[in-house]
Amino acid sequence: MASQPRPLPPEAEIRAIVGHRFPGGPYTVAHWENFLLTECTGADILPDGMVHPVVLFHMPILGSRTTIGEMFALGQADSDYSIGIESYDWEMFEPLREAVTYAVGGKVVAADRVTPPQGRVYDRIQFQFEVAQPDGVLAARTTITWHYNRGARS
């Protein structure tokens, strides 16, 4: 895109974000939200107020009181376009349901610079979120691993 890549952030600044905790807070999935999400997947709404598991991307992020944009900024992303997905790991211990208020928390669990033999340098940053039921039982844990690519694409 038109914007120039930013200078390579110091590796120490990237490593220093490990342990950063988001404020956390409650999150309730409303029926409209589940309905629209489920429609986006091409599926029918699930029975008994069950929330489609695709919610496990944004619910932990927003419930932790952060945003995708803030997560990009935390790793000093060159731009919105510079992020690559390494993996999403979703552990589901209990089905999530509409209108239940869950307690959500999240933190940065890893941040390392990677210099591959070929291709761009990137910072591999891993976020982990937990979603607990009102009784405190862990309902889900998600781990997002993104690559913050540095410099121009070759």
Partner 1 sequence: MKAAVGDEIPAWLMESVRPERMRTMAAILRDPNPVHWDRNACDALGFGKRTINQGPLGLSYMVNMLHAWAGAGCITRLYMTFPKVVLDGDRITARGEVTAVREEGGRRYADCRVWLDRGPDDHPLQGTATIRLPD
Residues that bind partner 1 (CB under 8 A): 1, 33, 36-37, 39-43, 46-47, 50, 52-54, 56-58, 61-62, 67-69, 72, 80-81, 83-93, 95
Between residues 13 and 91, which has the closer beta carbon with respect to partner 1? 91
Task: Supply 20's token pair.
Answer: 């950063």
Residue 144 near residue 56 (C-beta atoms within 8 A): no
DSSP-assigned letter for residue 56: H
In the bound complex, what is the minimum distance in angstroms from residue 26's beta carbon to partner 1?
A: 17
**Beta carbon nearer to partner 1, 16 or 40:** 40
Q: At closest approach, how far in Å is the CB of 127 from partner 1? A: 14
Nearer to partner 1, 19 or 138 (CB): 138
At residue 126's C-alpha, the angle toward residues 66 and 3, to 5°, is: 70
- Least distance between partner 1 and beta carbon 3 (Å): 11
Report the nearest approach of partner 1 to the CB of residue 10 (Å). 25
List 84's β-bridge partners, or say none.
147
Q: Return the structure tokens found at 99.
A: 């209108």
d(CA 34, CA 31): 5
Nearer to partner 1, 14 or 56 (CB): 56
Q: Which helix (DSSP H) or strand (DSSP E) does residue 146 occupy?
A: strand 138-149
